[in-house]
Structure formats: structure tokens, C-alpha cells
Amino acid sequence: MCSPRIMNHVYGAIEGRGPQMTRRAMFGALGAAALAASTAGSVSAAPVPQVAPPEGPIVDLTHVLRAGFPVWPGSQGFEMRNLAQIGGGTGSLGSLAPGATSVFYKNELRLDEHTGTHIDAPAHASADGITVEQIPPRDLVAPIAVIDIAARAHTDNDALLTRQDIVDWESDHGMLPDRCLVAMHSGWADRVGQPGAFVNVDAAGVQRTPGFDPDAVDFLLRERDIVGLGSDTLSIDAGRSTTFGAHLGALGAGKYAAEVLANLSQIPPAGATVMVGAPTHAGGSGGPCRVLAWI
């Protein structure tokens, strides 16, 4: 893992570059920071070649969004309407001149902000919380700790990630790293191709899906240093919750939530880094995002 001094250098570079900060530039910042750290105090060190992006795996924690993707009950489903096809039709959309055939392919999207793999900004559950474009860039690149409750959730749809689960994780991997994203792996992502099973509403109209115990969230907020929570379900709260304690606690404390994550089983419980590609529409409560992890 990188030292705090190196990570602070990287976070500063990200904030300085703003939306122009590419993945290659980010890894370049890591390399430059590491080089500066290794040569500190020495004026005679030989030049070191620029560090290339790592060859290790990059895991996409994002589901592919398509029509019929499961959404929160009552929410607008994802829709995509074609506006122009290459070589097809005439008109202003996709054409270089009136009456010319289209040279571009484009679509119009309609969706709820909280659709597919997405982020909840603090404003989603806090009247004075920041909106999605205001989330600091440094909070969107963080160590990720994956806490696995999949075995329990397999037999108990209402399973909760508890404070004890966090304690057990730390007994195996050490204390949670500072400024980390804590993600619940319940195995729920395997159900995404079956929307009914993913949302899992019972005969009484209650969702039966895993989530964070609000007491565990309170522990993370009081005793640990986190930037946000993640889940492979529609919500960081259990589906049956009527108080939404995980949302109100985490978002009320200025943290964010990354929900409907994919492939959490493909990254280790500890040692990976996550980048949450949050949208930047002004005043947004959240939105679909591309979430990547590297090891």
C-alpha cells in the first residue's frame, strides 16, 4: 500500500487536474510521488524512468445498464431511444448538413438518477448535504475493504453486515485503512439477470435484501475513517428497513454510497483501490457511475 505522504500527493494532483485527470495521469502521479519519496534527502540519486501504469488486473465493479435492469420499486426504468444511425436517414441529428445522411450514432437516455451501478450523494438523504458534483475528487479514489456476508445472505435474505463482521474482518486483515470505502459483498450481484429475484419483494410488498446494520454504520462513522459505503444490492439499507438508518447515518455524516456494485468477489478483501466515476450534473442527488478497482 502507498504511504499517506504519497497518497496525499496523488489526491492533490487529482484535485488540481480536475476533470482532465485521466487514469494514465493518475498512475503517473502515483509514480512521481513514489519517486519523490524514494529520492527525498538525496541529491545524487540516479534518474529513474517514468513509472508506467501497473500490469495488474483492473476489475470493473459496474453492471452493464440495459432495458429491464432492476430498479427500486416504483422508479423509472432505464430507457434508450435511438436518435441517429450511421448511414441511416437524414436530418439535423447526426448529419453534417441538412438533408445529408447521418454520419454519427447517438441515443437519448431516460432514467432515474439511482439506476444501475450508481452513487448516492449526501444530499440524497440529508437536507444540507452536498450534491453529487460537489463530492471532493479525493474521496472518489480510495482503498476498498470488502466484507463478505454472502454465505449468510444465501440462506437469509434479510442478512445484515454487523459491527461484529467488521471486527472479524479486522482480525484477519488489520484495522480498516484511513479514508476507505467499506463494501458489503452479499452475493446479490449474481441475481441481477433476474430482476424479480434481485429486487425480491415478498407477498406483503416488502423487499427482502441484505444491507448494513445501522449500528455497524454508526461504528464506522465514530471509530473509523471512511469516505463511503458500498453494496451489491439496490440499497446500503436492508430492503425491509423503514427507517433507512444506514442512509441517514452515512449520508448525514457527509459520506457517499456506491450501490449495485458488481464483481466484488473478484477483488481481495483488502489491498485494492477503487475509483468511483461519479457524474457531475449540478444539483444531482447521485447518478450512474463507472466504478473500477485495481489490485
pTM of the model: 0.81
195-253 per-position pLDDT tens digit = 999 999 999 999 999 999 999 999 999 999 999 999 999 999 999 999 999 999 999 99
Average pLDDT, the chain: 87
- Least Cα distance to 8 among 30, 24, 31 occurs for 30
Distance CA 122, CA 24 (A): 29
Measuring CA to CA, how many Å separate 58 from each of 31, 53, 275? Answer: 17, 11, 11
Q: Which three cell numbers stand for residue 37?
A: 519519496
Quick check: 133 pLDDT over 50? yes
Mean pLDDT value of segment 124-128: 97
Q: First vs last Cα of the chain: how many Å apart?
A: 10
pLDDT of residue 101: 85
The answer to whether the CB of 248 falls within 8 A of the CB of 237 is: no
pLDDT of residue 99: 73
The answer to whether the CB of 275 falls within 8 A of the CB of 248 is: no
How many beta carbons lie within 10 A of that of residue 55, not counting itself?
Answer: 5
Distance CA 293, CA 57 (A): 8
Quick check: 45 pLDDT over 70? no
Which amino acid is present at 14?
I
For 257: left if phi > 0, alpha if psi spans -120 to 50, otherwise beta; the answer is: beta
The β-bridge partners of 102 are: none
Distance CA 251, CA 282 (A): 18
Quick check: 103 pLDDT over 60? yes
Confidence at 42, pLDDT banded by 50, 70, 90: very low
Judged by DSSP in three states, 151 sits in helix
pLDDT of residue 93: 73
Q: Which three cell numbers stand for residue 2?
A: 502507498
Confidence at 134, pLDDT banded by 50, 70, 90: very high
Confidence at 46, pLDDT banded by 50, 70, 90: low
pLDDT of residue 19: 47
148-199 per-position pLDDT tens digit = 999 999 999 999 999 999 999 999 999 999 999 999 999 999 999 999 999 9
Mean pLDDT value of segment 38-66: 69
Quick check: 71 pLDDT over 60? yes
Q: Which three cell numbers stand for residue 136?
A: 471532493
pLDDT of residue 28: 53
pLDDT of residue 149: 98
Distance CA 16, CA 26 (A): 11
DSSP one-letter string for 224-283: S-EEEEEESSS-SS-TT-SS-HHHHHHHHTT-EEEES---GGGS-SSSEEEEEE----TT
Confidence at 40, pLDDT banded by 50, 70, 90: very low
Mean pLDDT value of segment 275-294: 98
